[in-house]
Amino acid sequence: MRYAETGYNLEIDLSRGNIERVETDPKWTELYLGGLGTNAKILWDRVPPETEPFSPDNLLIFSTGLLCGTPAVGSNRTIVSTFSPQTQLMAYSMMGGFFAPELKYAGYDKVIFRGKSPNLVYVWINNAKVEIRDASHLRGKGAVETQELIRKELKDPNAQVAAIGLAGENRVFYASIEQGRSSASRQGIGAVMGDKGLKAIAVRGTKDINVARPTEFLELCNEVLKYIQWRNENPIKNVEPIFQGLGSPQEMAIIDEKWHTTGFMWGNARTRRKDFWNKEAEEQWKQTQESVRTRLISCYNCPMKCGALISVPGISNYMMKCYTKLTYTMAAMSDLEFGFRIAQRATEYGVDGYSTPQVIAFALELYEAGILTDQDMPGMPTGTEERFYWLLDRIVRREGIGDVLANGTHWAAKAIGKGAEAYAHNNIKKHEQLPLKLGMLNPVYFLMYCTGEKINITQIEGQFPQEPFAAKEQREEFVKDWLQVPDEKFKQYFLDWDPRGEHSNPYYPTIQATCEIVDWMERMHYIDDALGVCAGLSSFPLKPPYHMHNYPSFISSGAGIAMDEAGLTQVARRNRTLIRAVNIRKGMRRADEKPPEDHWRKRFPELEEKLLDEYYKFKGWDHQGIPTKASLRELDLAYVADDLEQRGIIRNEQG
Amino acid sequence: MSKVKKKVIKIDLEKCNGCRACEVICSAFHAKPQYSSNNPARSRIRIVRDPLRDIYLPVYAGEYTKAECSGKDKYVIEGKEYSECDFCRASCPSRDLFKEPDSGLPLKCDMCEDDPEQKEPMCVQWCLSDCLTYEEIEEEAEEKIKLEDVEIGLESLVDKYGFQKVMDAAARMTKKD
Ligand code: SF4
Ligand code: SF4
Ligand code: SF4
Ligand code: SF4
């Protein structure tokens, strides 16, 4: 018997309309666990680097994580993987909600799509019965609306539906996939779904998921629940409200937005408003948020309720989570009410809440600068807020200038020319980032920004505080119950880290310590993404319930795979290296590994080079960031080494 | 008059976050061997949910019923529309709720009295948002016995004469009054 996983994938060829249920190799689970790990393996094996993201040969994988569907608290992630039209690299976006567990109960670990359907279709997975159904009547329908229509059509209110909106249908490079209270938004995976002619996937399952050692597994779940309860009652001291608790950022619960509104950038990621948050703003925003927020809601089997049902008078209800609450507001230099209003339309269209407002603000800045003119924007209204709606409507339809902007700031700037490139200033590897501009280089963040395969800081960071604590006593208090550290030395790094002086950024943490901290943070993310556990309970917040010390037992008692900390570290390294290899084979090199040019005011070119050198070495990669033959072999990735060697990417002298 | 302890689960709809942890743990607790598997379709508590209309309604599995009701009323509570079935605990032919997915056998909440005896029902323990809370209340025992008497009596009449005849007789008696 297979434990935690079902042992079966669905293979759906949309060109031929062929559906197959395929048994998977349990050896793969041992090597890569599942989720992101096995997705990467499949993409490596089956999508050659020449394949264009919009080719029928590109795959689009909807995967559960290994623990999804078990009682492990918060293990509900759907990991969607493909190749991004925007970055041309591997894209993996994840969503919470209810989809992955339902897919497991239907009897599948993954759904793998290939080909392209000639007509718009949706797929209905009802336990063993799987059909491809016509979706022509859903063309142009909103992503939220589509979920509702499909549930009605199937007469199954309990079906979980993931759908794209107009943006996905029109292959907007930052189109999202929406599902209930969640979405997989980054890197344009919704565009790949649209390119495949796939409007939605609906799933319903009523089968069991088994665990290997039930009593032990449940005991672990109970411990996690108890710890969550304790953590909720004991927020972390000496940090901003956003860092105090568990969950993905509690934006729906938190009213106090001082940290975001005064620290992050407004407009096209340029304007800092240090004095924005005053009594008046607080009053007004509190009033707005409380009047539209109908209920705080959770994902499957998690008590953290990071999302909310939003009911703005006059428009239909939708659900929101996280930082989208502020992205439109801040990009348009507007207020919270505007943010909640436009986010409804954006959610129906199915676009990424990070990239979209930045693309629009970028276009408006180009217009102010005279690089885009009235000829490019015929009929554009005068107010900024109206302009946001106007541009959003054009982008998702790829109408006029919208067609250019639909490819994101990097490609749009290239197409527009006339110096537009300087305005696309907040990207890493062609992908829009959080609008954050800071003073002093932080070495840990430097490495994460440069080298993170996810190309999205919030899904790389966590665990180690973002800033040093001012007072020694505060630090001592913090490390006292820091049981999550994989090694005691991390406590010392934090204790010794000062806001100023010799032991401060950018030279402290030392290069070696920086590599180790980054390694710990990303390790946790790679484990979460393979297991399908929400980062909000593990890799993302400070002092989470899941960590290096309890994860191995979850895996061994849940999936019946012998696992210890060393073994799990090895799996995380393997997965991390495999995804790196996928991207290296796509052409990514050291020159691409840069933070946004203006992310920090104070830069240290020499130190930065050293950081990259040492980190690459630490990882077992060469000077270009290419994994060495020896390190690949050591990770059971000899087949990767052979392929890279054949292609001349790994040179023989590397050994 | 003796007093008996009665187990009550209080449901505060305002506090439900829709996480379905209650379904997860109920189905795991009742798996054989215990916790060896889980499957919300087997849970004896189900969340009737319609997230976009803000409907979250935990419902417990009650008695099995052979036939569905003829008329089904609708309730509107604070602007949200519920069907009568939404509140109903029955394992009923009209729906797939509270039935074993394979065999179709009815499921019924047993207040987690399976072994080992739990200090609180499992669904309550796993509902961290306090939507479900547990209390034991003391009740006068006699009335309950009386009710049971009537039920037993009726059941035997039904056994003897058939359900329809008993109902007809009861209808005639009501008319006489
Ligand atoms: S922590 Fe928040 S985002 Fe994560 S699973 Fe729980 S409710 Fe969902
Ligand atoms: S566990 Fe509680 S909050 Fe979660 S769905 Fe059940 S009743 Fe609602
Ligand atoms: S579910 Fe309940 S209310 Fe609905 S038809 Fe069946 S018995 Fe009647
Ligand atoms: S009380 Fe026990 S049997 Fe009843 S629904 Fe809750 S967990 Fe299930």
pLDDT digits (tens, 9 = 90+) for B73-92: 999 999 999 999 999 999 99
First to last CA, chain B: 32
Closest-CA residue of chain A to B32? A214
Q: Which two tokens stand for residue A343?
A: 């986010």
Residue B150 pLDDT: 53
Length of chain B: 177
Mean pLDDT of A120-126: 98
Measured between beta carbons, which residues in chain A are less than 8 angstroms from residue B128?
Answer: 225, 228-229, 232, 303
From the CB of residue A533, how many other CB atoms can be counted at a distance below 10 Å? 31
- Strands A307-310, A293-297: parallel, antiparallel or unpaired by DSSP? antiparallel
For residues A422 and A376, is the Cβ–Cβ distance under 8 A? Answer: no
- Strands A121-126, A198-204: parallel, antiparallel or unpaired by DSSP? parallel
Closest-CA residue of chain B to A305? B17
Between B160 and A209, name the one with better pLDDT.
A209
Measured between beta carbons, which residues in chain A are less than 8 angstroms from residue B25?
Answer: 71
Does pLDDT of A575 surpass 70?
yes
DSSP secondary structure code for residue A457 in this structure: G
Residue B57, chain A, CB below 8 Å: the answer is: no
Give the DSSP H or E segment for A94.
Answer: strand A90-95
Residue B19, chain A, CB below 8 Å: the answer is: yes
Mean pLDDT of A236-263: 91
Binned at pLDDT 50, 70 and 90, residue B177 comes out as very low
Domain interval for residue B150: 144-177
Domain shared by B34 and B119, yes or no: yes
CB of B26 sitting under 6 A from ligand 4: yes
Angle of helix A408-416 relative to helix A355-368, nearest 10 degrees? 30
Does pLDDT of A629 surpass 60?
yes
Between A349 and A248, name the one with better pLDDT.
A349
Residue B2 pLDDT: 73
Give the gap in angstroms from C-alpha B137 to the nearest C-alpha of chain A. Answer: 27
What percentage of chain A has pLDDT greater than the value 90?
96
Does pLDDT of A40 surpass 50?
yes
Nearest in space to B53 (alpha carbons), one of B18, B24, B21: B18
CATH of the domain at B122: 3.30.70
Residue B83's DSSP bridge partners are B74
Mean pLDDT of chain B: 86
DSSP secondary structure code for residue A157 in this structure: T
Q: Which of B13, B35, B86, B98 to mutate to test the interface with A (most CBs of A within 10 A)?
A: B35
Residue A618 pLDDT: 98
Least confident of A465-479, A601-615, B2-16, B119-133: B2-16
Measured between beta carbons, which residues in chain B are less than 8 angstroms from residue A232?
Answer: 128
Domain shared by B114 and B62, yes or no: yes
CB of B122 sitting under 6 A from ligand 4: yes
> Which atom of ligand 2 is found nearest the CA of B11?
7
For residues A104 and A68, is the Cβ–Cβ distance under 8 A? Answer: yes
pLDDT in tens, A129-153: 999 999 999 999 999 999 999 999 9
Does pLDDT of A582 surpass 60?
yes
Nearest in space to A391 (alpha carbons), one of A382, A383, A401: A401
The Cα–Cα gap between B20 and B16 comes to 9
- Tell the residue nearest (CA) to atom 2 of ligand 4: B112
Instruction: Give Cα A518 distance to the centre of its chain.
Output: 17
Would you call B101 and A206 a contact, using CB atoms and an 8 Å cutoff? yes
Measured between beta carbons, which residues in chain A are less than 8 angstroms from residue B24?
Answer: 71, 301
Residue B159 pLDDT: 58
Domain shared by B83 and B9, yes or no: yes
Binned at pLDDT 50, 70 and 90, residue B115 comes out as low
What separation in Å is there between the alpha carbon of A412 and the centre of ligand 3? 58
Residue B149 pLDDT: 46
Which is it for the CA torsion A504, A509, A514, A518, positive or negative? negative
Mean pLDDT of B26-47: 97
Would you call A73 and B21 a contact, using CB atoms and an 8 Å cutoff? yes
Would you call A181 and B51 a contact, using CB atoms and an 8 Å cutoff? yes
Tracing tokens 């449901």 back to the chain, one arrives at B11
Give the gap in angstroms from C-alpha B106 to the nearest C-alpha of chain A. Answer: 15
Between A555 and B136, name the one with better pLDDT.
A555
CA distances from A15 to A120, A122, A132, A166, B16 (A): 11, 13, 11, 21, 43
Would you call A319 and B28 a contact, using CB atoms and an 8 Å cutoff? no
Residue A541 pLDDT: 96
DSSP secondary structure code for residue A308 in this structure: E
Binned at pLDDT 50, 70 and 90, residue B171 comes out as confident
Mean pLDDT of A207-223: 98
For residues A171 and A54, is the Cβ–Cβ distance under 8 A? Answer: yes
Task: Domain ranges for chain A, please list them.
Answer: 8-204, 242-426, 626-655
Return the CATH number of A242-426, one of 3.40.190.80, 3.30.1330.10, 3.90.420.10, 1.10.569.10.
1.10.569.10
Does pLDDT of B163 surpass 90?
no
Residue B151 pLDDT: 60
For a ligand 1 pocket test, name from A248, A322, A540 the mutation site with the most ligand atoms within 8 angstroms of its C-beta: A248
Would you call B17 and A180 a contact, using CB atoms and an 8 Å cutoff? no
The Cα–Cα gap between A114 and A196 comes to 8
What separation in Å is there between the alpha carbon of A199 and the centre of ligand 1? 26
pLDDT in tens, A511-522: 999 999 999 999
Give the gap in angstroms from C-alpha A287 to the nearest C-alpha of chain B. Answer: 20
Would you call B35 and A296 a contact, using CB atoms and an 8 Å cutoff? no
Tracing tokens 């932080």 back to the chain, one arrives at A442
The complex's ipTM? 0.95
Domain shared by B107 and B27, yes or no: yes
The Cα–Cα gap between A368 and A383 comes to 13
Between B168 and A306, name the one with better pLDDT.
A306
The CATH number of A8-204 is 3.60.9.10
Number of domains in chain B: 2
For residues A423 and A268, is the Cβ–Cβ distance under 8 A? Answer: yes
Residue A239, chain B, CB below 8 Å: the answer is: no
Angle of helix A443-451 relative to helix A605-619, nearest 10 degrees? 60
Residue B138's DSSP bridge partners are B5
From the CB of residue B135, how many other CB atoms can be counted at a distance below 10 Å? 11
Does pLDDT of A602 surpass 70?
yes
Domain shared by B16 and B77, yes or no: yes
Domain shared by B6 and B67, yes or no: yes
Residue A621 pLDDT: 98
Residue A313, chain B, CB below 8 Å: the answer is: no
Measured between beta carbons, which residues in chain B are less than 8 angstroms from residue A181?
Answer: 51
**Which residues have a Cβ under 8 Å from the Cβ of A447 and sit 6 or more positions away?**
A514, A515, A518, A611, A612, A615
Between B151 and A330, name the one with better pLDDT.
A330
What percentage of chain A has pLDDT greater than the value 70?
99
For residues A563 and A555, is the Cβ–Cβ distance under 8 A? Answer: yes
Residue among A228, A297, A319 minimizing CB distance to B17: A297
Domain shared by B48 and B110, yes or no: yes
Nearest in space to A33 (alpha carbons), one of A573, A450, A631, A465: A573
Would you call A214 and B17 a contact, using CB atoms and an 8 Å cutoff? no
Residue A401 pLDDT: 98
Domain shared by B108 and B57, yes or no: yes
Residue B129, chain A, CB below 8 Å: the answer is: yes
A231, burial (CB in 10 Å: exposed 0-12, middle 13-18, buried 19+): buried
For residues A506 and A600, is the Cβ–Cβ distance under 8 A? Answer: no
Domain shared by B171 and B84, yes or no: no
Domain shared by B155 and B177, yes or no: yes
> Which atom of ligand 3 is found nearest the CA of B89?
2
Mean pLDDT of chain A: 96
Main-chain phi, psi angles of B5, to 5 degrees: -85, 135
- Tell the residue nearest (CA) to atom 8 of ligand 3: B69
The Cα–Cα gap between A214 and A231 comes to 26
Does pLDDT of A652 surpass 80?
no
Residue A248 pLDDT: 85
Binned at pLDDT 50, 70 and 90, residue B165 comes out as confident
Residue A400 pLDDT: 97
Residue B3 pLDDT: 80
pLDDT in tens, A423-464: 999 999 999 999 999 999 999 999 999 999 999 998 899 999
